[in-house]
Amino acid sequence: MSSLVGSTPLDDFLNDSSTDTGELLERIGLLGAMFGVLLATGLIVFLAVVHRGRHREVVAILRVVGYAGAVMLVGAAVEVAGVASIADLGWIDALTYPTGRAAMMRMLGGLLIVLGASRSEQTVALGAVDQKGRIDKVEQQAPSDADALVRWLPSSAFAFVGAALGLLSFASDGHTVSRGPRVVHALVNLAHVSAASVWFGGLVGLVIVGLLRRSTRESSARDVLRFSSIATVALIVVTLAGSLMTWFVIDGFGDLTGTDWGRFLLLKVAAVGTAVAIGGYNHFAVVPALERSDDADAMVVRARTTISVEAIVLAFVVAVTVFLTTASTN
Ligand code: HEM
């Protein structure tokens, strides 16, 4: 099952419980950085693939991408402070630890996302789309008709590079570097985190669009329909990759109940199961009703509610993941 590569300095580091302040700082920082990476990346994918709406919605979502990048930057800096405190090192030396290096990637990624989002906000390139979401023509500035339907056309690589750095950073720390085949584990981790960001960020994107359209009673039905099939693929990838990583980390099924790591994983899987049940209800009951436009108003409200609750449950999953990746496997 697991191919444990002996006890490494990283294992000792992860299992050391004597530095409470440092651990607290590391976890708080990781929480911010993880939320920032998942949210920024997921919202960028949401804008590029799912969203068709108003210019003001594109700008609002890009603004949230920028805030997520800032949270990622600050969170990663707090993480480095935590690592420095745990290992009793200076900041520069802390960067020689895998966790410190990964946090530095997140800091750089966060900075690029902040720059990329603000550049994109100033020079939003938009495609004017028809009711089916097809691009009619490309516009370089806000359309004169504020209600014209548009989609975002990425105009700066900064945010993409920042998001890629953030996703890759998770393949360079935690149990990914100490358990299982190194390269395979890193690739599986990358697939897991990427799919998780598409799922989580997409839900938050739908929540933002729903809030902006609430006063107009205009539905996000088409965005919900487009997101629904993408979320299904993301869920499959998240589950397969998460199961593979579990296989790499544990020595036997007893670890699931006999170690802190295993117990956090069981809590995480239970929360994911809850999110899947809510998403399933949305996919199989609410989305078909939206497609048929039965009782549209009631269904739009129901879709918004279930999407918001699913996003909150996934936020809890992310918080549990912070404890999972920093938990002892002994
Ligand atoms: C059945 C579903 C899932 C399983 C079995 C699972 C399992 C795992 C495992 C085993 C790890 C590695 C932990 C470690 O290195 O100690 C991990 C990492 C991670 N998971 Fe999940 N997970 C699932 C769903 C999710 C979901 C839904 C999200 C977020 C929306 C998520 C977010 C993450 C993130 C961000 C990491 C990377 C942490 C890191 O490498 O530092 N996971 N997951």
Q: Read off the pLDDT of residues 161-195 as tens digits, 9 standing for 90 and up.
A: 999 999 999 998 878 878 888 899 999 999 999 99
Q: What share of the chain has pLDDT > 70, as a percent?
A: 85
- Residue 54 is predicted with a pLDDT of 86
Q: Which residue has the tokens 């745990």?
A: 86
Q: Read off the pLDDT of residues 296-307 as tens digits, 9 standing for 90 and up.
A: 778 888 888 999
DSSP state of 326: T
- Residue 11 is predicted with a pLDDT of 55
Residues 6+ away with beta carbon under 8 Å from 117: 40, 62, 63, 65, 66, 69, 159
Using only C-alpha atoms, the chain has a radius of gyration, in whole angstroms, of: 21
- Residue 3 is predicted with a pLDDT of 36
Cα separation, 290 vs 270, in Å, equals: 29
- Residue 159 is predicted with a pLDDT of 93
Give the distance (Å) from ligand 1 centre to CA of residue 321: 6
Give the distance (Å) from ligand 1 centre to CA of residue 239: 9
Hey, whose CA ends up nearest to atom 3 of ligand 1?
Answer: 242
Helix (H, G, I), strand (E, B) or coil at 95: coil
Q: Which residues line ligand 1 (CB under 6 A)?
A: 34, 170, 174-176, 189, 192-193, 196, 199-200, 238-239, 242-243, 245-246, 249, 265, 268-269, 272, 314, 317-318, 321, 324-325
Hey, whose CA ends up nearest to atom 1 of ligand 1?
Answer: 239
- Residue 266 is predicted with a pLDDT of 98
- Residue 283 is predicted with a pLDDT of 86
The backbone torsions φ and ψ at residue 142, rounded to the nearest 5 degrees and listed phi first, read -55, 130
Q: Would you kindly state where each structural domain of the chain is located, as residue ranges?
A: 13-326
Hey, whose CA ends up nearest to atom 31 of ligand 1?
Answer: 196
Multiple choice CATH, 13-326, 3.30.450, 1.20.1630, 1.10.760, 2.60.40: 1.20.1630
Closest CA to 71 of 115, 100, 31: 31
18: confidence class by pLDDT, cuts 50, 70, 90: very low
Average pLDDT, the chain: 86
DSSP state of 251: S
DSSP line for 117-142: HHHHHHT-EEEEE-TTS-EEEEESS-
Q: Which of these ranges, 15-19, 64-68, 90-94, 102-106, has the smallest mean pLDDT? A: 15-19
Give, in order, the Cα–Cα distances in Å from 188 to each of 182, 243, 248, 329. 10, 10, 10, 19
Hey, whose CA ends up nearest to atom 29 of ligand 1?
Answer: 196
Q: Read off the pLDDT of residues 192-230 as tens digits, 9 standing for 90 and up.
A: 999 999 999 999 999 999 998 876 656 677 788 889 889
Q: Read off the pLDDT of residues 234-272 as tens digits, 9 standing for 90 and up.
A: 999 999 999 999 999 999 999 999 999 999 999 999 999
